[in-house]
Amino acid sequence: MEDLALPGQFELPVDNDSQAPSRAERRDQQIQRILDAAKACFIRSGFQGASMHQICAEAGMSPGALYRYFPSKEAIIRAIVEADRKQDAEKFAAMDKNPCVVDGIVNCAMDHIRYTHENGNAPIFAEIATESLRNETIREIGDYCMDEVQHQFRNYVQAALDRGEIDPVVELDALLPMMMAIGQGLAINGLPGKGVSYDRIEKMFRATTAALLRPTRKCDPAKN
Amino acid sequence: MEDLALPGQFELPVDNDSQAPSRAERRDQQIQRILDAAKACFIRSGFQGASMHQICAEAGMSPGALYRYFPSKEAIIRAIVEADRKQDAEKFAAMDKNPCVVDGIVNCAMDHIRYTHENGNAPIFAEIATESLRNETIREIGDYCMDEVQHQFRNYVQAALDRGEIDPVVELDALLPMMMAIGQGLAINGLPGKGVSYDRIEKMFRATTAALLRPTRKCDPAKN
DNA sequence: AAAAAGAGAACGAACGTTCGCTCTTTTTAT
DNA sequence: ATAAAAAGAGCGAACGTTCGTTCTCTTTTT
């Protein structure tokens, strides 16, 4: 008879350097635990396919306990989508540190591709994109955060355009959605999983980006 | 009391030019009717979200009747995926009629994008891509048909390469998955729905394709 | 002692599927 | 040609299961 769950508070690993976690701290930990469990289930079975009982089991928690933290399945999905998109947005925040647009975009995108692939995040990404097409609530959250990324992109590209560094094939209003779409295709498809190496992906992505932005001069002769 | 369904055979619209449809013909019609209904439901709610009762209602058919044609929901999904992918494959069959690789690819892709958008097919496309990441049966069907498209692509591009018409940035083993991924991103994202006109999409897609394939000479001065 | 956290049985609804039945069409026997 | 039999098509109630969620009760923390 192994590991039968007893009532009462679940025992979390003890952090020796600090005292017992406060009420609020513990709450945050539990919320995170639920979100991690839910994410794992959603990756395995999708938003609709994963059941609350499965999420409870994965989190090592009873339904009664879980429902003290989230009022519904929808709320969990919303939280996951929001967290995931926020994380994406942060990934692209460092972009405009790079003085060369093409490099800035390529480096950030490659970081994102690497991260997504190594963490098995592609299914969640795909799930959000698909669910956005039919669930308005999800679409709103997704779009809100996606717009954030697109705005960062836009400002960054617009600045380069103002500086005369690039001569894009079309106006930015058409160009940015195109680049987002390409990025989405790459994220979902998981090229690294199909045996395409990162430096091949980078090479192609750089060529693609350059073709769309058409840089008018080299930024840094040291780079390629 | 309107239109209450009576037992027995459902009345289909009569084709005046011919006699009553044979047993087999009628069966095919009913199967098609179910597939159409299922597709509509799947677009609305996804594979997992759509219920058999909904599909029955959409098809104007009772569960008992429907189950004479398909043994399970999975079987319907399989049939839909197969039909959709087959249709995609056919769309790209005309590609190699075009002597200029870039034109051939761009034209076919644009036809496909137009078709997908105008028929509201993007959600099904996205659903298949997402479901492929976790459902092995779906993945097998999807990959099988996707490989067909990729093979057509590969032969077409390889021929151009042999003729010395292009000088791709990377080997075809890396290039083709990249192009498929880009295509998938475009199909799912539905750029036309975001206000990007077809000729802007074509311009960008042409630039992208050219950047990856790097044609060594113009095919036809009349075009471009 | 009060409040918060958790367990786990239980709820009604909805799921995919099956069943028994009626009606229609086709095949077979006369 | 006609009647009987068989097979096919369809309906809709009902099946057992699982779903998301709630409820009651116990244990732990404040």
Residue A198 domain-assigned?
A: yes
Mutate to test the interface with B, among A172, A204, A209, A214 (most CBs of B within 10 A): A204
Same domain, B39 and B144: no
Q: Do B186 and A185 touch (CB under 8 A)?
A: yes
In angstroms, rounded to a whole number, what is the distance separating the alpha carbons of residues B11 and B16?
Answer: 14
Same domain, B180 and B113: yes
Nucleotide nearest B49, CA–C1', reads C15
Which range among A120-124, B64-68, B142-146 shows the weakest confidence by mean pLDDT? B142-146
Residue A195 domain-assigned?
A: yes
**Residue B220: pLDDT band with limits 50, 70, 90:** low
Q: What is the pLDDT of residues B144-176, one digit of tens each?
A: 878 888 888 899 999 999 999 999 999 999 999
Residue A223 domain-assigned?
A: no
- End position of a domain, from candidates B70, B92, B107: B70
pLDDT surpassing 60 at residue A67: yes
Residue A168 domain-assigned?
A: yes
Q: Are B70 and B76 in contact (CB under 8 A)?
A: yes
- End position of a domain, from candidates A70, A98, A130: A70
**Residue A52: pLDDT band with limits 50, 70, 90:** very high
Q: Which domain holds residue A36?
A: 23-70
Same domain, A64 and A94: no
Predicted pLDDT of residue A86: 87
Residue burial B111-130, b: 16+ Cβ < 10 Å; e: rest: ebbeebbeeebbbbbbbbbb
Domain count of the fold of chain B: 2
B169 touching A (Cβ < 8 Å): yes
Mutate to test the interface with B, among A128, A136, A143, A189 (most CBs of B within 10 A): A189
Nucleotide nearest A6, CA–C1', reads C7
Q: Are B178 and B212 in contact (CB under 8 A)?
A: yes
Residue A209 domain-assigned?
A: yes
Same domain, B166 and B109: yes
We report the CATH number of the domain holding residue A142 as 1.10.357.10
In angstroms, rounded to a whole number, what is the distance separating the alpha carbons of residues A117 and A189?
Answer: 10
Predicted pLDDT of residue B86: 87
Name every residue whose Cβ is closer than 8 Å to that of residue A185 and which is 6 or more positions away in sequence.
B181, B182, B183, B184, B185, B186, B188, B189
A208 touching B (Cβ < 8 Å): yes
Backbone angles phi, psi at A215, to 5 degrees: -60, 140
Residue B11 domain-assigned?
A: no
- Chain C nucleotides close to protein (CB under 7 A) are 4-10, 14-20, 22-26
- End position of a domain, from candidates B42, B70, B98: B70
B195 touching A (Cβ < 8 Å): yes
What one-letter code names the amino acid at A6? Answer: L
Which range among A9-23, A98-112, B35-49, B76-90 shows the weakest confidence by mean pLDDT? A9-23
pLDDT surpassing 90 at residue B219: no
3-state secondary structure chain B: CCCCCCCCCCCCCCCCCCCCCCHHHHHHHHHHHHHHHHHHHHHHHHHHHCCHHHHHHHHCCCHHHHCCCCCCHHHHHHHHHHHHHHHHHHHCHHHHHCCCHHHHHHHHHHHHHHHHHHCCCHHHHHHHHHHHCCCHHHHHHHHHHHHHHHHHHHHHHHHHHHCCCECCCCCHHHHHHHHHHHHHHHHHHCHHHHCCCHHHHHHHHHHHHHHHHCECCCCCCCCC
Nearest-CB residue to A177 (from B46, B171, B196): B196
**Residue B19: pLDDT band with limits 50, 70, 90:** low
- Chain D nucleotides close to protein (CB under 7 A) are 8-14, 18-24, 26-30
**Residue A91: pLDDT band with limits 50, 70, 90:** confident
Question: Where does residue A106 rank: exposed (0-12), middle (13-18), buried (19+ CB within 10 A)?
Answer: buried
Same domain, A36 and A142: no
A198 touching B (Cβ < 8 Å): no
Interface of B with A in 16-35 (CB under 8 A): none
Measured at the CA of B187, the angle between CA B185 and CA B189, to 5 degrees, comes to 65
CA distances from A87 to A40, A121, B47, B123, B189 (A): 17, 12, 28, 25, 21
Same domain, A27 and A111: no
Same domain, B42 and B129: no
Q: Do B169 and A210 touch (CB under 8 A)?
A: no
Residue B85 domain-assigned?
A: yes
Percent of chain B predicted with pLDDT > 90? 69
Q: Kindly give the interhelix angle for B198-213 and A172-189, rounded to the nearest 10 degrees.
A: 60
B177 touching A (Cβ < 8 Å): yes
pLDDT surpassing 80 at residue B194: yes
Report the gap between the CA of B163 and the closest CA in chain A (Å). 22
**Residues of chain B neighbouring A49 (CB-CB closer than 8 A):** 48, 134
Same domain, A58 and A27: yes
In angstroms, rounded to a whole number, what is the distance separating the alpha carbons of residues A91 and A25?
Answer: 26
Same domain, B112 and B40: no
Q: What is the pLDDT of residues A159-205, one digit of tens each?
A: 999 999 999 999 999 999 999 999 999 988 889 989 999 999 999 99
Nearest-CB residue to B122 (from A133, A180, A207): A133
Q: Kindly give the interhelix angle for A23-49 and B23-49, rounded to the nearest 10 degrees.
A: 170
With H, G, I as helix, E, B as strand and everything else as coil, classify residue A224. Answer: coil
Same domain, B162 and B133: yes
Nucleotide nearest B45, CA–C1', reads C15
**Residues of chain B neighbouring A169 (CB-CB closer than 8 A):** 203-204, 207
We report the CATH number of the domain holding residue A53 as 1.10.10.60
Same domain, B107 and B89: yes
Same domain, B50 and B127: no
What the block records as the tokens of B27 is 């069966």
Query: Residue A70 CA to D25 C1' — how many Å?
Result: 21
A223 touching B (Cβ < 8 Å): no
Residue B223 domain-assigned?
A: no
Residue A131's closest chain B neighbor by CA?
Answer: B46
Query: Residue B184 CA to C10 C1' — how many Å?
Result: 46
Q: What is the pLDDT of residues B100-120, one digit of tens each?
A: 999 999 999 999 999 999 999
Q: Are A160 and A166 in contact (CB under 8 A)?
A: yes
CB atoms within 10 A of CB B3: 6
**Residue B36: pLDDT band with limits 50, 70, 90:** very high
Query: Residue A64 CA to D23 C1' — how many Å?
Result: 9
